[in-house]
Each structure stands twice: as C-alpha cells, then as structure tokens.
C-alpha cells in the first residue's frame, strides 16, 4: 500500500499529474557520511542521487583543521565505487579554540566550503562544539572577511527551553546578535524546522556585493512531508527521530511554502544521518534519519503535493551552487511516477543493518537508474 501521507499528520493538497520529471543533476548541501566501513556502506546511496554534497565534520575526533578535512576527503574519494561520480565538499568544525589563521587557510583551500557551528551538546557528536560565540570572535571576523560561509545548527541547548522551541530561541538569542555584530557574515541556517526560521530567512536575507544572498537555509525531506504526529503513530517511531525534531503542522506548511517559493535562499539539504538499526532502537536511541536512499523521491513527492514540481530543479540543482559560487552540474537525473517499496533494512558496518527512512513503505516516485 502506498504510504498515506495525510494519515501521518501532513498536508494532502492537490498535486500535478506529471508521470516523469527530468532535472539538472542535484546536490545535497547537508550530509553526514560518518567514516570507515560505515561511510563506505552509505556513500553509494548519496552518489547515486547527488553529484556533490557538503559533508558534515562531526566525526570522533571532529574535523577541526584543513589538514584533517583533506584527509577525510581522501578517505571519501577512496571509498567511492568505481564508475560513480561524486565530489565531497568539506567543512571544518568550529570550536572555542578555532583560530583566525585556520579560517584563512580554509578559505584558501580548494575543497573547504564552510565552517560548521554546533552549539555544544545540540546533536550527535557535538560535545566539542561552541560553548559561547563570545569565544569565537576572531574566527567569525575571519569568516566575515573571507566570505567563507558559517553553517549553523540553529538550536539553543539551555535546559529551560522546550525542545520544540530551541530553534525559535536560537534566532533571537544567537542568529540576530551574530549577524548584527558581523553584518558581512554569510550564513546557512541548516535544516530549518519552524515557521519562524522560514520567515526569518525570507525577510532577513540580503544580497552581498557579489550579488549572492548573505543568508540561506537548507530543508530536509522529512520536515517538508511530516509533522511531529509521525513520531508517535502506532507507538514511538525511533527511525523518525532527528534533531532538530519534527514540529507542528503549521511549521511543516511554512517550510513547504518556503521550499516551493522559488526564492534562491532556500535549497536542498537532506541531513541524512546514518545510525545502525540497534543504535536507533535502543532505550536512548540516536537522532537522525537515514534519508539518502530515498531523498529525491521524497522531495518530488513534497513538491508534487504542493503543485510545484516545476520548481524542484531550482531548489535541488540551482540555488545551492549559486549561493556557494560553484558551477552548475552537467547532466541530469530522471524521476518516474511509479510505485515502489523502500527496503525495510540495508547492510551496514560491522555486520549490522540500517533502516532507511520510510523503510518498508511504498513511495509514488522512483529515481531512474
């Protein structure tokens, strides 16, 4: 049976009737690949769908220097199956100790495309993240001067703030002050999940001297299609748990409106985050949805529900390269309107398995091999 999206607490508006869709080859502007055997297991799923991806640096230990990013990139390239075309775009992990000199080295590097801000304790492997931006003024000034983007996990971690409100608080308590103090800073507000974030990016993004927006946002497929009801449908659903967590329906609608608006400051970022099945289905399960194997199928489904398939190419293939100042990809992908069932689980590292997002469900769109 085809997954009934509206039964899981989401919008079921009228869609278009296209049976096939061909778009310029897309990119993923927010991706977790892990490392070692785990990375080798999940890399082909992304390379099948995307030509490039911004790779997150939250390994153990975190990727904090240009040399570490270079080495990580080499490991990714070495793990790529023969015949697959894929370019990893690297990032550095911002810490309280990151120096301006390291930022300048990153800006001069041909493969580092951004610096990642994790508030300490906000998500997976964020323990080494920033305790307070007051300790990062030299690094932020260097980012502003070089134009290298700051990629933001936008949640406060204060114990008194409700988990569903952490993003909205981050806008007022962190985003507004840092952009006021560093007005030339280029920022990507990653995996936004709220109406407040969508509105902030829509109205507060400005064109820089190079004609590019100085504020942009990525949006995941799960936050376009589902609200927080999906976490509890038929019992607690660990494979739907990610951070930032799914929000109310009003927020999902605002995200879908932003993604399908045609505005260039919104673009695709899956936040695909692989964890072995047993680590998701334990007493304290890991946060993250492994969406890489079904990413473009889910984005097509979301855009079709909004009657905006004609704007998927901009969101998936055009806006991200424009923001990062990179060339558009050559070639294309094709999606067909035909039902198929997502595998319930897939092989993973150490003889374990991993459950793809919507594993066992039937989807209406399929990427043509």
Residue ranges and CATH numbers for the domains of the chain are 5-367 (3.20.20.140)
Q: What is the pLDDT of residue 230?
A: 96
Cβ-in-10-Å burial (0-12, 13-18, 19+) of 330 comes to exposed
Q: Has 310 been annotated as catalytic?
A: no
Residues of the chain under the 70 pLDDT cut = 1-17, 121-126
CB atoms within 10 A of CB 320: 28
Range list of β-strands (E), 220-327: 266-268
Q: What is the pLDDT of residue 1?
A: 32
From residue 295, how far is each of 28, 66, 154, 221, 298 by CA, in Å?
A: 9, 29, 22, 7, 5
Please tell me which residue in 271, 310, 350, 369 is annotated as part of the active site. 271
Q: Which of 225, 228, 230, 229 is nearest to 253 (CA)?
A: 225
Residue 310 region by backbone torsions, left for phi larger than 0, else alpha for psi between -120 and 50, else beta:
alpha
Alpha carbon distance 102, 91 (integer Å): 12
Q: What is the pLDDT of residue 210?
A: 78
Alpha carbon distance 244, 58 (integer Å): 16
Q: What is the pLDDT of residue 3?
A: 41
Alpha carbon distance 270, 186 (integer Å): 21
* Total-model pTM: 0.93
Q: What is the pLDDT of residue 256?
A: 98
Q: What is the pLDDT of residue 94?
A: 96
Give residue 278's Cα distance to chain centre.
Answer: 23
Angle among Cα 30, 80, 114 to the nearest 5 degrees reads 30
């Amino acid at each position: 049976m085809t997954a009934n999206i509206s039964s899981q607490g989401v919008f079921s508006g009228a869609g278009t009737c296209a049976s096939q869709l061909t778009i310029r080859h897309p990119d993923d502007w927010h991706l977790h690949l892990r490392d070692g055997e785990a990375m080798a297991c999940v890399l082909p799923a992304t390379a099948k769908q995307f030509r490039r991806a911004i790779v997150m640096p939250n390994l153990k230990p975190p990727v904090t220097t240009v040399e570490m990013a270079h080495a990580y990139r080499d490991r990714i390239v070495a793990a790529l199956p023969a015949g697959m075309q894929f370019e990893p775009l690297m990032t550095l992990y911002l810490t309280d100790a990151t120096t301006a000199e390291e930022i300048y080295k990153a800006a001069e590097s041909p493969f580092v495309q951004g610096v990642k801000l994790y508030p300490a304790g906000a998500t997976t492997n964020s323990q080494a993240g920033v305790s307070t931006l007051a300790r990062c003024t030299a690094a932020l000034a260097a980012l502003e001067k070089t134009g290298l983007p700051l990629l933001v996990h936008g949640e406060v971690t204060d114990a008194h703030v409700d988990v569903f409100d952490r993003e909205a608080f981050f806008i007022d308590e962190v985003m507004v002050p840092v952009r006021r103090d560093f007005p030339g800073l280029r920022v990507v507000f990653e995996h936004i999940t709220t109406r407040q974030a969508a509105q902030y990016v829509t109205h507060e993004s400005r064109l820089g001297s190079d004609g590019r927006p100085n504020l942009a946002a990525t949006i995941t497929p799960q936050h376009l299609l589902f609200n927080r009801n999906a976490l509890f449908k038929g019992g607690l659903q660990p494979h739907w748990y990610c951070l930032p967590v799914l929000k109310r329906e009003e927020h999902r609608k605002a995200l879908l409106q932003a993604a399908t608006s045609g505005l260039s400051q919104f673009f695709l970022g899956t936040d695909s985050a692989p964890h072995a099945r047993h680590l998701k289905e334990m007493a304290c399960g890991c946060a993250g949805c492994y969406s890489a194997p079904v990413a473009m199928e889910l984005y097509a489904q979301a855009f079709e529900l909004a009657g905006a398939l004609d704007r998927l190419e901009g969101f998936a293939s055009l806006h991200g390269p424009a923001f990062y100042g990179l060339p558009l990809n050559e070639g294309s992908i094709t999606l067909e309107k035909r039902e198929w069932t997502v595998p319930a689980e897939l092989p993973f590292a150490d003889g374990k398995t991993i459950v793809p997002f919507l594993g066992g469900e039937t989807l209406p769109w399929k990427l043509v091999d």
